Amino acid sequence: MTEPTAETDQDALVFECELDAAPDKVWRAISIPAYRERWLPEAVLADPEPVAATPGREACYRLRDRDMPFAESVVTFELSPNAVGGTHLRIVHRLAEAGAGRALMAANGNRPAARRAA
């Protein structure tokens, strides 16, 4: 396995690495719940089933924070074979909410509370 790299932009966190395991083995680790549970527990998933999947290539899962404001995000696993028989794994994690590009304010931001109609 090579050292992982990560990059950020305003919309997503992107993590890429090269794995020694073949793509079919990595696919099983992200798609079979019993294997996935070891590193992506069902407790953090908004839904244990993928939002979208292309077998052997890509799987997207919705996650939900356990604490307020219960923000939801989508994590996408992209797999492709590399030149030495292993797997290039790209993980993209982005907020799923409308307005995801806006910065979140601290709870103690000393701003007046927003009021909304019921």
The CA angle 53-60-67, to the nearest 5 degrees, is: 150
Share of the chain above pLDDT 90, in %: 47
CA distances from 23 to 36, 57, 117 (A): 15, 8, 51
Using the predicted structure, report yes or no on whether residue 1 has a pLDDT greater than 80: no
- Based on the number of CB atoms within 10 Å of its own CB, is 64 exposed (0-12), middle (13-18) or buried (19 or more)? middle
Domain ranges of the chain: 5-95
Class of domain 5-95: alpha beta
Residues 54-83 have a mean pLDDT of 90
Which residues fall within 8 angstroms of residue 5, CB to CB, at 6 or more apart? 15, 16, 17
Residue 60 pLDDT: 94
Residues 7-19 have a mean pLDDT of 80
The model's pTM is 0.72
Q: For 16-25, 56-65, 80-89, 101-110, which range has the lowest pLDDT when averaged over its residues?
A: 101-110
